Amino acid sequence: MHPHAAMEPFLEAVQYRRQRLEGAVSRGEKVIGYFCTYTPVELIHACGFLPVRIWARTGPAEKACAQVPGFICPYMQLSLENALSGEFLFLSGVVQAYTCDVACGCVNIWKATFPDLLVHSIPLPYNVSPEAGAYLRSCLEETVEKLVSAGGTYSDEALAESLDLYGRIRGILSALHEQRAQGTLAMTSADLNVVAQAFFAMDPVHYLMMLERLVADLNSCRSILAPGIPVLVSGSVVEDAGIISLVEALGLRVAADDLCTGLRAFTPASAAGQNPLEQVGNRIMKRFPCPARSRQSQRIPLVLDLVKSSGAQGVIFLFQKFCTPHLADYPAVCGALKDAGIPSILLELDGNAGMEAQALTRLETFAGMVGA
Amino acid sequence: MGSTGKSKKRLSTARELTRVVTDYYLECHRARAEGRPVGWMPPMNGGIEIFYAMDLQPVFPENWSPVCAAFSLAPGHFEISEGMGYSRDLCGYLRNIVGYVHSDMNGPGVPLGGLPEPDMLMSFGGGCVPAMKIFQILESRFPRAKVFRADVPQVACEDIREHHVDYAVSEIHRLIEFLERTTGRKLDQERLHRTVELSDAACRLWDEIMSLRRCRPAPISASEIGIMFVMVTRQGTQTAVDFLTRVRDEVAERAEQGIGVIEDELVRLFWDNIPLWYNMGLFNEFEGLGGVVVAETYSAAWSLRLDASDPVRALALKSLMSYSLVSCLSIERRKEMVLKACRDYGIDGAVFHRNKSCVPITLGQDEIIRALDEELGIPSVTIDADHMDSRNFSHAQFKARTDAFMEMLLARKNG
Ligand code: SF4
Ligand code: SF4
């Protein structure tokens, strides 16, 4: 039993996500998968589909290795392994915001391997400008067209409702992240990771109810977490909450994250715009940037701000192995942190559960160095 | 470990390439000396024609990497960039150029005088991640350079729609405006028109040369593919058109006279992915066994046409399509292209380079291998290597795999 009773449904939502989604599909719902959290989930939802983030697994990629080389990130490799093992038979399609070369190539492989799925990639702009905004709106309109051709229906009203729903969810999740940065959140970051993962895998209406219950539970909770040395975790996909627990068990406290399974998925909660479609586009353009979709000069100051505002004493880079966008930015981010007197450590996730002894030793040394 | 080996060239025009390359780098250095603005840019986009139309000097750091590999400078550059914290898992172009710009760029041992420092950087959003990140790193290495932050939609050729083109057109206009403002030069529309015509003429000649490789025996092989240097660095110039015309004429003459790459062409091969720039001699190794690499995927990147009646739109389309040909083309389209090439060129077997340094081109190869086998009965062999980093290449493994493959192909031919 989890110390917070309100956490139980989140744990279950993650544990039984496939069965529940299969159940939803058998009741007539349609599910669309996505990989990258730049994907406009509210648009998919407004068209009558349930958007869920495609998940990977731990262990070897036996089936996938006949289709992809061993030197791509385990997240994409093991998601394909899941798909080839029948994990995602409930999907009607994959709608994906263009992330990186690996995501693009793997989406192409999904398209070739599962010809009955709707597969659509949204070529997001890289720049932020009025022209880029107008272009992005056209891309979103094209996405609506694709979703409608796959049996969806669209109206501005429905999008306004979905925006409101997701805006509330993201608002609460952002507030939890904020409380965590201030050290006033009565839950661990490992739990917060589970809360985020449930968001990616379930119906948002139901999820919002669970989230509100969790917040009420946290508000009434008197337990104070053991104080730890605050650190920031930076990377892409961290699906294994166990890694975060491990960090926390070393006397460190994850005060903030720069992960696509964390803060980057929820910030900002919403954005203004003259119509719902423009609001979706503006939110994408204002999103806390990820290295795959931004320039170093734009992103590094924001990461430094995050370190400062959360009081992090060190940064743990938790990268998916072979993740080019993060690896290419790493020396520059690391250098900027060094100049600011912030130590950092790089750990790569190879798709296996847990952490190798050598990595654990390095992490322990790092914890000691920052004073844990 | 792979040894450095240069390929054997049979064309006198291919040998002339050395002069073309030297002239280009001399011109780059002259530009600096004469105060003609130098801009560094990624290859395969419409920026090059605009540069030439404005008498600006384009420099291509990505293209410098094969030069570094050929002169065995890459290992030293890798050491520098890896020392800075760049992972060995990153594309070798990125690690090489980062190492190069943090070394003595124009020092005494550097071939061709190295690259002149940039006055401007065309930092793209679009194309593959390493190509974008290279320029972001260059931005901090050359803080005095004026930076143009371009955007190109990452969309597969077959999915290009009007809004993608409109956005790319608006980016080309923005680039022109940036260049005019930064350099104080005005773009002459007539010059631009002429430059795009020359660019199109180069593409047409390129296609002609490539299709002459259908002849049996093949008049040129992948060993001569260095001629694409002019497509990378000289598109939009008379130099490219003149050089390619001479190449075309020589290749046509060889084809007409039945002069092949080797005397007894037994097996025709297809090559997928970028060559191993530090060991171009590998192509000749097939020749020792009667095999000739007569077609390859990457040469298709120049197989575009530009409609000079609307130069800006033509350049926008070029930017949209060139990169997507290598980085986000659907597997369906890639399959179509490879299968068509294999039919057109009478291919007996395909060599797939599983390239540790280039994920975009490597992803999807397995599907194509299957299609070649199932639809055309063409067998393939996979080589694990890297187009820049010889540490990721084992010559012994290459030899064992390709020898067995060639033996099998020859047995099929004779059986
Ligand atoms: S950004 Fe990194 S983790 Fe995400 S799909 Fe690309 S390579 Fe994988
Ligand atoms: S296309 Fe391939 S080789 Fe070229 S920069 Fe990108 S990853 Fe590197």
| Amino acid letter, A37 | T
Average pLDDT, stretch B178-198? 98
Which residue from B191, B227, B162 is spatially nearest to B7, judged by alpha carbons? B227
Question: Coil, helix or strand for B186?
Answer: coil
Average pLDDT, stretch B9-29? 89
Q: What is the structure's pLDDT at B1? A: 40
Give the Å distances, CA to CA, from A355 to A371, B138, B181, B249: 22, 35, 53, 62
Q: What is the structure's pLDDT at A231? A: 97
**Which of the residue ranges A3-12, A348-357, B65-74, B289-298 would you say has the lowest mean pLDDT?**
A348-357
In this predicted structure, the answer to whether residue B26 has a pLDDT above a threshold of 80 is yes
Of B84, B129, B151, the CB nearest to A325: B129
Average pLDDT, stretch A22-39? 96
Distance of CA B25 from the midpoint of ligand 1 (Å) = 37
> Position of tokens 């199109």?
B200
Which residue from A77, A71, A25, A38 is spatially nearest to A55, judged by alpha carbons? A77
Largest CA distance in chain A: 57
CA distance A295 to A300: 9
Q: What is the structure's pLDDT at A222? A: 64
Average pLDDT, stretch A228-250? 92
Specify the higher pLDDT residue, A231 or A355: A231
A98 CB neighbour count, 10 Å cutoff: 25
Q: CB contact, 8 Å: A290 with chain B?
A: no
Specify the higher pLDDT residue, B42 or A371: B42
- Give alpha helix (H) positions in A226-275: 241-249, 263-266
pLDDT tens sequence across A182-238 = 888 989 999 999 999 999 999 999 999 999 999 999 888 766 666 899 999 999 999
Specify the higher pLDDT residue, B13 or A167: A167
In this predicted structure, the answer to whether residue B198 has a pLDDT above a threshold of 50 is yes
pLDDT tier at A271, thresholds 50, 70, 90: very high
Q: Is B90 in the pocket of ligand 2 (CB under 6 A)?
A: no
Contact B363 A297 (CB under 8 A): no
Contact B369, B352 (CB under 8 A): yes
Q: What is the structure's pLDDT at A2? A: 66
pLDDT tens sequence across A36-57 = 999 999 999 999 999 999 999 9
Q: Which chain B residues touch A113 with a CB distance below 8 Å?
A: 367
Could you tell me what percent of chain B has a pLDDT over 90? 87
| Amino acid letter, A198 | A
Query: What order do you get walking across the sheet with B120-125 strand by strand?
Result: B57-59, B38-40, B120-125, B146-151
Average pLDDT, stretch B269-288? 94
In this predicted structure, the answer to whether residue A1 has a pLDDT above a threshold of 60 is no
In this predicted structure, the answer to whether residue A129 has a pLDDT above a threshold of 70 is yes
In this predicted structure, the answer to whether residue A75 has a pLDDT above a threshold of 60 is yes
Q: CB contact, 8 Å: A128 with chain B?
A: no
pLDDT tens sequence across B150-170 = 999 999 999 999 999 999 999
In this predicted structure, the answer to whether residue B2 has a pLDDT above a threshold of 50 is no
Q: CB contact, 8 Å: A108 with chain B?
A: yes
Nearest CA in chain B to A124: B153
Q: What is the structure's pLDDT at B225? A: 87
Q: Which of A36, A108, A140, A321 to mutate to test binding with chain B, by most B CBs within 10 Å of its CB? A: A108
Contact B358, B91 (CB under 8 A): yes
Contact B364, B331 (CB under 8 A): yes
pLDDT tens sequence across B363-415 = 999 999 999 999 999 999 999 999 999 999 999 999 999 999 999 999 998 87
Q: In chain B, positions 308-337, which contact chain A (CB-CB < 8 Å)?
A: 327-332
Q: Is B398 in the pocket of ligand 2 (CB under 6 A)?
A: no
Q: At what angle do helices A74-84 and A101-113 cross, to 10 degrees?
A: 10
Long-range contacts of residues B238-245, Cβ cutoff 8 Å, at least 24 apart = B238/B198, B239/B20, B239/B23, B240/B198, B240/B202, B241/B198, B241/B201, B241/B202, B241/B205, B243/B13, B243/B16, B243/B17, B243/B20, B244/B202, B244/B205, B244/B206, B244/B209, B245/B205
How many Cα neighbours within 13 Å face the side chain of A12?
10
Q: Which residues contact A104 (CB under 8 A, 6 or more apart)?
A: A98, A121, B154, B327, B328, B360
**Domains in chain B, CATH or no CATH each:** 16-188 (3.40.50.11890), 192-413 (3.40.50.11900)
CA distance A136 to B374: 40
CA distance A248 to A243: 9
CA distance B53 to B360: 32
Q: What is the structure's pLDDT at A226? A: 67
CA distance A11 to A75: 21
CA distance A342 to A94: 40
Q: What is the structure's pLDDT at A352? A: 78
